[in-house]
Amino acid sequence: MKRFALTLALASFAIAPAFAAMKEKPVKVELGAQNGSGETGYAMLYPHGAKTKVIVHLKSTPKGVAQPDHIHKGTCANLDPKPAFMLKPVVGGKSITMVDASVADLLKEPMAINVHESATDLKKYVACGDIVAPK
């Protein structure tokens, strides 16, 4: 009986992290247009353990232009100009990047996803969205 109890206890320790990861849900970040760009959309943050898959979807993007996007500390209203995490550029309205931070880490402090007009005009922001925990 002791052997069974020990086996059961060890199994529960092995299974607990898997259940914890399953409880984490994707987070949707609404991206609003900035500087009259008309570019709007959303980003989905999908938990992958200690990493997060970030998928950005934008409408009304210019054809054939790669638009750099990043996760920054701060909010869209008060953005730290230095990126915390680089994302693959938005091309044709979409970007997919695996980030070396968990969704929980991205929610610990104010952060935002920011999209730039182009690699040659990084100072012009075309879309931004604050990363906030779902309610």
For residue 100, how many C-alpha atoms fall within 13 Å in the half-sphere facing its CB?
Answer: 3
Asked whether residue 127 is domain-assigned, the answer is: yes
Asked whether residue 115 is domain-assigned, the answer is: yes
Q: What is the pLDDT of residues 50-78, one digit of tens each?
A: 999 999 999 999 999 999 999 999 999 99
The CATH number of whichever domain residue 120 belongs to comes to 2.60.40.200
The residue range of the domain holding 62 is: 25-131
Indicate the pTM of the whole model. 0.82
Alpha carbon 90 to its chain's center: 13
**Residue 93 pLDDT exceeds 60:** yes
Asked whether residue 4 is domain-assigned, the answer is: no
Asked whether residue 94 is domain-assigned, the answer is: yes
Asked whether residue 69 is domain-assigned, the answer is: yes
Asked whether residue 14 is domain-assigned, the answer is: no
Q: What is the pLDDT of residues 26-57, one digit of tens each?
A: 999 999 999 999 999 999 999 999 999 999 99
> How far is Cα 101 from Cα 83, in angstroms, rounded to an integer?
14
How would you class 9 by CB atoms within 10 Å of its CB: exposed for 0-12, middle for 13-18, buried for 19 or more?
Answer: exposed
Asked whether residue 48 is domain-assigned, the answer is: yes
Number of domains in the chain: 1
Asked whether residue 121 is domain-assigned, the answer is: yes
